[in-house]
Homo-oligomer: A and B are copies of this chain.
Amino acid sequence: MSLDRSIEKLEERFEKYLSERGLRHSRPRELVVREFLKTSEHLSIEDLLKKVQRQDPKIGIATVYRAMNLLVEASLAVKREFATGSSAYEKMPTRHHDHLLCTGCGRIVEFHREAIERMQDEIASRYGFILDFHKMELYGRCKACRKSG
């Protein structure tokens, strides 16, 4: 399946989400959603705003926030808040993963380690908890950043 086709499918899911609850289809919203869906990296609100403003400079930041909140409610996006203070949206991951972040250049690497996931469940149950979700972020410096300074 082509990338465009997969974006189309996600857009359809979003339209369905909207129409099911009497929400409307609008040009600004469509621009935000499309720009978000066509970007594969983690996207900050500011970067997303810049992208949509290239197509329509009148679009305000509130519209971007509102569209992203809808996308999160529709389970098409997740919001990540990092320990560095920045936050970013990513497309709803098909498989769970955690993040490795470079404190130098901001690069974000996704990873998954089943053995860790199992240990987390085991730790939780040892204390009588049942886990809903977790947050695991590793912060360090990538090779390039260590070289450059």
Contact = CB atoms under 8 A, between A and B. Distances in A.
Interface in A84-107: 100, 102-103
A137 B134 contact: yes
Interface centre among A120, A123, A129, A139 (most CB of B within 10 A): A129
A143 interface: yes
Nearest to A85: B81
Contacts of A100: 123-124, 127, 129
A137 B83 CA distance: 12
Contacts of A130: 140-141, 146
Nearest to A83: B135
A120 B111 CA distance: 10
Contacts of A111: 123, 127
B131 A139 contact: yes
A138 B134 contact: yes
Contacts of A141: 129-130, 132
Contacts of A128: 142-143
Interface of A: 81, 83, 100, 102-103, 109, 111, 113, 115-116, 119-120, 123-124, 127-143, 146
Query: Closest 4 A-B residue pairs measured CB to CB?
Result: A128-B143, A131-B140, A129-B140, A136-B136
8 contacts: A83-B133, A111-B127, A123-B138, A127-B142, A129-B143, A131-B139, A131-B140, A134-B137
Given A111-B123, A131-B138, 5 more contacts: A109-B129, A111-B127, A128-B142, A130-B140, A134-B139
